[in-house]
Amino acid sequence: MVTSPVGNIANEREIKLMISILEKVGKILQPFDLKIIFDETPKEVASDKEKLVRFLLLTAILDQQAESPSARKTAINIYKILNDDLFYKPQTALIKLDKLVSLKNEYKISPAIGRVLPRFGWFVLRVGGFLIYEMMLNKIKLSDEIGKCKNPKEAINFLYSNPILESILRDKAIRMYISWIGHPDLGIDVSKGKWKKTDFEMPVDGHVGKIFSRTGMIPNVIHESKDRKNKRWNIIVASQMRPLIQELVSKFDADCIMVDHGAFRIGFYCCPDNLEGIACDSCPRKSFCEIKDKISCEGYCILRKYCKRNLIWRAY
């Protein structure tokens, strides 16, 4: 791991404008994307706060280093097979894990972690860990316990006080989960208005780090290696860059959860790692893009005017 100059650096005015754009994109797309999850979720789960909070925890666990649509679909199909045993009889559900083998091919994880353990191995570890955590909860209502916390950070500490959950839910995923169930603009709001938007911490994955680096919003990048013969030398270490990005966004009083989601969406869809189909000047997806009209996109990256195009940096 090494720190290097980012390249061309944006000035404070440009940074403020780009963060404002990302926040606007996030405010439009985060509720839209979460609504997709709610719409896909069985009604008997979506209409029950406790079930929904638990279901989203399972989704967040499965979503780590996996394709998000496949993680959501897998979580839904797990519920269809196990029904309410998934939430209220985890011991029974644990015995039935073999019934989930039919789902192993639909759960698409990163090839990198797939080399460490077979896909179904990760699946069993994650679903099994979730069920063991539920067994340890016993009759405690998870939504109530999280809602009692003074702020999102205390809620994270509460969840991480359980060693099982701490082992299967990484930092980025737990911050994402807490934002889903606690952000006042996203529908569930377990704290019932107690948590402020400024209390949340950005999840920051590689795509978010990539956008802040390529645009020149941060002066330095923490990446994997200084040896350019290493094919992964220019991959961003997002977990190490998160505090730097959080501090920058907080400086402009922006809603960091919305900024994070806006940066993720642009990083994933408009600014690919391999630069193929990059949307700097013209987006090859513009004729069929489902979000173009929602964010008033004119057929090229909405950060184009201010981005410094430090395109060497990669997410993965």
Over residues 262-266, the mean pLDDT reads 95
Amino acid at the residue 32: F
Q: What is the pLDDT of residue 112?
A: 66
- How distant is the alpha carbon of residue 6 from its chain centre? 24
Q: Please list, residue by residue across 24-37, b when 16 or more beta carbons sit within 10 angstroms of its beta carbon and e when fewer do.
A: bbbbbbbbebbeeb
Inter-residue contact 215 to 10 (CB < 8 Å): yes
- Give the other-Cβ count within 10 Å of 212's Cβ: 29
The strand ranges marked E within the chain are 2-5, 220-223
Question: Tokens standing for 148?
Answer: 């009692």
Distance CA 210, CA 240 (A): 13
Q: What is the pLDDT of residue 67?
A: 83
Q: What is the pLDDT of residue 288?
A: 87
Q: What is the pLDDT of residue 12?
A: 97
User: What's the pLDDT tens digit per position in 15-55?
Assistant: 999 999 999 999 999 988 888 888 889 999 999 999 999 99
Q: What is the pLDDT of residue 116?
A: 62
pTM of the model: 0.92
Distance CA 310, CA 307 (A): 8
Q: What is the pLDDT of residue 54?
A: 97
Q: What is the pLDDT of residue 184?
A: 93
Give 175 or 109, the one with higher predicted confidence.
Answer: 175
- The region of weakest confidence among 4-18, 88-102, 114-128, 246-260 is 114-128
Show me where the domains of the chain are located: 32-196
Over residues 266-271, the mean pLDDT reads 92
Q: What is the pLDDT of residue 115?
A: 64
Amino acid at the residue 252: F
How far is residue 192 from each of residues 64, 149, 154, 187, measured CA to CA in Å?
Answer: 28, 11, 15, 10
Over residues 147-167, the mean pLDDT reads 96
Checking 69-77 for CB contacts under 8 A at 24+ apart, the result is 70/106, 70/107, 70/108, 71/107, 72/37, 72/40, 73/40, 73/106, 74/103, 74/106, 74/107, 74/123, 76/40, 76/41, 76/42, 77/103, 77/106
For residue 148, pLDDT beyond 90: yes
Q: What is the pLDDT of residue 287?
A: 86
For residue 111, pLDDT beyond 80: no
Answer positive or negative: Cα dihedral of 131, 137, 139, 141: negative
Q: What is the pLDDT of residue 35?
A: 86
